[in-house]
A and B are shown apart, each in its own frame.
Chain A
């Protein structure tokens, strides 16, 4: 489920990009169209025009940095918005000090009204209360700068509050809207992920079901042929090859049943089913295992069981079946030593499995080995 959540998060971030890009464009356009215009038109009215220009550049650098980080979805330390806010507040103070007393509400005094657009970018990924706190700091700094450098009338104070209210409400609204959209997107994408998982599971279960039915049909077909042959006396139950065929089919049916069981070592469980079948036919089987079984696809388990099934069916009295699983490298090594007459000709050697056989006096030894392709 972790991957699903990660995918949902990625999708939610993609949805949340829209409001973010909108906010960056608005802040950028405002900074050029309003702030830069204010500096240009009021250039000669400033007490210190270059201070206002420097403040404008501080805004530009801070805003650009924050925008790039947000667009790249780069991790941002909490120190970045704090430091950025400090820089903006310094620029706001500088702009307030740089204007002449008559320009408190002129376009040349752009910093205090633009602050919130840039603070909004800096605090984009944080709860709204942080942006609120930064905006309060802006009010405090602006007031302090104005109070220190000039006399303010009560009307001036009322107008300043109005400007703060007007400018701040918009940015708070945009930031809140962005967050709401992000949350909705995340929820929607979590739901769609859960639906996808459900659909995938349903599809997988359907495929497994179909596959089992097909295998059962195949095995059932072979078994029916065998039974029909025995019933019609076209097959001799005393003949060794007929007995072997019976043994193989019985073991396959057992293995198919074992495949449905929930076992911590499915391969061993299925091999045990094969061994039990051979024991019923009078073969003494020892089954030994070493190591922890890796996760094997059903197809591989089936293929690994095929060789023991055929060899045990051809065994006369005794067999030793060993399974060695290693983790480094990942490998499964199955060995069957049995007093089997000859290597059954019909024995398939599946492509992903390495097999070799040898004979030591009356004993036939067949070893099959599987390792993942990549290793």
Chain B
């Protein structure tokens, strides 16, 4: 992680790959508006390899658009996730794609309509190997009917459902009659179960370790 101009706190560094300049500019604007500054863009551009060739290769988090110049780079996620914490930021919203990309090792998935609030939170969580569950990821988890899907508890499922339906965690907490922190725990635990049920790709091991450290899952739960 880099340092901010005051040198007091470490900055999370990111590399951004998107083929639309307006998106790259938009992301820089969001990061710039985040005060105090917590994120620093090391490199950005439309080509994965050229962005990662320079300083971008050292970034804490790689923000990746799936649709580049008319083609999909979803099949490169697994390979990229071996060396980077990949956060997918895409206009593609299908549950299948979200589940496939997360299974391939992406740390998080943000759809482009999920906006600034989720963006900053997702990047900061990813840098710490923590899973940030966006409503679109909650939807993909709720819609999973594969036989290998993990068993969620009623509370975990309810938290995911409400997080999908309601715009704010506070509203979810109010509906469940619990604190926002507990809501986060339920959602985080559901995501950790997914991490554990998928194959151990990319940063998943680090994320599982973090989930254990955070008390979301127990070491003996890991298969």
Q: Please tell me if the beta carbons of B171 and A360 are within 8 angstroms of each other in the complex.
A: yes
Out of A286, A322, A324, A358, which one reaches B175, CB within 8 Å? A358
Q: How far is the CA of A335 from the CA of B136 in the complex (A)?
A: 15
Q: Please tell me if the beta carbons of A337 and B143 are within 8 angstroms of each other in the complex.
A: no
A291 at the interface (CB under 8 A from B): yes
- Name A's interface SS: strand
Residues in A with CB closer than 8 Å to B95 are 290
Q: How far is the CA of A290 from the CA of B145 in the complex (A)?
A: 11
Interface residues on chain A, number (Cβ under 8 Å):
16
Residues in A with CB closer than 8 Å to B174 are 360
A367 at the interface (CB under 8 A from B): yes
> Which 9 A-B pairs give the minimum distances between C-beta atoms?
A335-B165, A290-B143, A360-B171, A290-B142, A322-B165, A290-B139, A291-B143, A337-B167, A288-B139
Residues in A with CB closer than 8 Å to B161 are 324, 333
A118 at the interface (CB under 8 A from B): no
Closest residue of A by beta carbon distance from B136: A288
- Name B's interface SS: helix
Q: Please tell me if the beta carbons of B166 and A365 are within 8 angstroms of each other in the complex.
A: yes
**What's the minimum C-beta distance from B132 to chain A, rounded to whole angstroms?**
18
**Given A290-B139, A291-B145, 14 more contacts at CB 8 Å?**
A320-B165, A322-B164, A324-B142, A335-B165, A335-B166, A337-B165, A337-B166, A337-B167, A360-B171, A360-B174, A363-B167, A365-B166, A365-B171, A367-B165
Interface string of A320-335 (1 = CB under 8 A from B): 1010100100000101
Q: Please tell me if the beta carbons of B168 and A324 are within 8 angstroms of each other in the complex.
A: no
Q: Please tell me if the beta carbons of B164 and A288 are within 8 angstroms of each other in the complex.
A: yes
30 residue pairs A–B, Cβ–Cβ below 8 Å: A286-B113, A288-B164, A290-B95, A290-B139, A290-B142, A290-B143, A290-B164, A291-B142, A291-B145, A320-B167, A322-B164, A322-B165, A324-B142, A324-B161, A324-B165, A327-B145, A333-B161, A335-B165, A335-B166, A337-B165, A337-B166, A358-B175, A360-B168, A360-B171, A363-B167, A363-B171, A365-B165, A365-B166, A365-B171, A367-B165
Closest residue of B by beta carbon distance from A323: B165
Interface string of B146-175 (1 = CB under 8 A from A): 000000000000000100111110110011
